[in-house]
Chains A and B, each alone.
Chain A
């Protein structure tokens, strides 16, 4: 019986405490500093002392890293003005201090709607700051495994990182199924069909497609091991990289044109018994992926 700590069930702070070298996390702008949202009180919504994200430095396998962990339970992990600025500050500081990596534990619905415009600008500032760090040769490693998944603008930000790790139960996409259903009806996307939601946005699909570099079980030690493996994975973007990425994405568009479900895409990838994929565990799914599907 596996009793490893579930990543999904931990709070952001519990994940930090359990994933990085014991006792190594030093927080910047901690809760007692009370750097909070200026926009929530007017809506009758309580603020969080850390505005839903803890940032700081830590060690991973003895290596100095910068860390950010989004708290999915607070406002769905949505990015507001202060939350976003903490992330931008972390990335800008990484440019100056050059840690071995920046590790982002992403759990977010994207822009915090309660802060609307401020949140939208904040997410784009985070994206730019992340790319500055990546292209300075400091790997940005994103870990996705929270219950709320990684959606919206953060789903885009995550794909700007050097390296992405997702659990088999994690989710990575752009629009949430509920939003799609509300827009185009239940025939378009039945948000209550959990199996469909996970086939479409879940970690197994994202990994098999090549949108995630590693797939792990929902266990904090597994995420730690994956992050350790990713420490050297700096991949600054060149024109050649993006041209290769473009070819990959264009090919995927063509090949997937008629596909209505993930199972068809998995079959196209040469996976036999594709219908069984949802029943497999992370290690088994890892075995299935062919090198051709790897990210460029």
Chain B
């Protein structure tokens, strides 16, 4: 898939409506082949911001779609989502995001 030696960095930001009161940072997943880790923290401002670092380059549009789909279901505000990815499929990404959202809702 990717022969380049550079990580790809992607950022997406969505205006949110669902404020989650003071939660401790949540970590879900592990950085391994075909996997990713997601760190969910309180973020500055009112938006939900996604910062993705991935070794699987060239999938920007898919990341945008996955993050947008997640944010439609969980319109979080004031939240920062940081991702380290090593080639996870969109399904796995969505799963981790959902797991993270569930942990801050609990």
A interface residue numbers (CB < 8 A to B) = 11, 13, 30-32, 41-50, 71, 73-74
Candidates B5, B27, B54, B85; contact of A31 at CB < 8 Å: B27
Cβ of B15 under 8 Å from chain A: no
| A45 to B2 Cα, complex, angstroms | 12
Structural contact, A73 and B32, CB atoms closer than 8 A? yes
Give the shortest distance, in Å, between A151 (CB) and chain B (any CB): 17
Mind listing 27 A-B residue pairs with CB under 8 Å?
A30-B25, A30-B27, A31-B27, A31-B39, A32-B39, A32-B41, A41-B7, A42-B5, A44-B2, A44-B5, A44-B6, A44-B7, A44-B55, A45-B7, A45-B55, A45-B86, A46-B7, A46-B31, A46-B54, A46-B85, A46-B86, A47-B31, A47-B53, A47-B84, A48-B31, A74-B30, A74-B31
| A43 to B31 Cα, complex, angstroms | 15
Structural contact, B30 and A11, CB atoms closer than 8 A? yes
| A71 to B31 Cα, complex, angstroms | 9
Dominant secondary structure at the A interface: loop
| A-chain residues with CB within 8 Å of residue B54 when the two chains form the complex | 46
B interface residue numbers (CB < 8 A to A) = 2, 4-7, 25, 27, 30-32, 35, 37, 39, 41, 53-55, 82, 84-86
| A107 to B6 Cα, complex, angstroms | 28
Structural contact, B27 and A49, CB atoms closer than 8 A? yes
| A223 to B5 Cα, complex, angstroms | 40
Structural contact, B37 and A48, CB atoms closer than 8 A? yes
Give the shortest distance, in Å, between B96 (CB) and chain A (any CB): 12
Query: Given known contacts A44-B7, A46-B86, A49-B27, is B35 in contact with A73 (CB within 8 Å)?
Result: yes
| A-chain residues with CB within 8 Å of residue B84 when the two chains form the complex | 46-49
Give the shortest distance, in Å, between B60 (CB) and chain A (any CB): 16
Query: Given known contacts A48-B37, A49-B84, is B5 in contact with A43 (CB within 8 Å)?
Result: yes
Which of B35, B54, B86 has the most chain A CB within a 10 Å cutoff?
B86
| B-chain residues with CB within 8 Å of residue A32 when the two chains form the complex | 25, 39, 41
Give the shortest distance, in Å, between A157 (CB) and chain B (any CB): 22
Which of B32, B54, B86 has the most chain A CB within a 10 Å cutoff?
B32
Closest A residue, CB atoms, query B8: A44
| Known pairs A31-B37, A31-B39, A45-B7 / 12 extra A-B pairs, C-beta < 8 Å | A11-B30, A30-B27, A31-B27, A32-B39, A42-B5, A44-B55, A46-B54, A46-B55, A47-B31, A47-B84, A49-B37, A73-B30
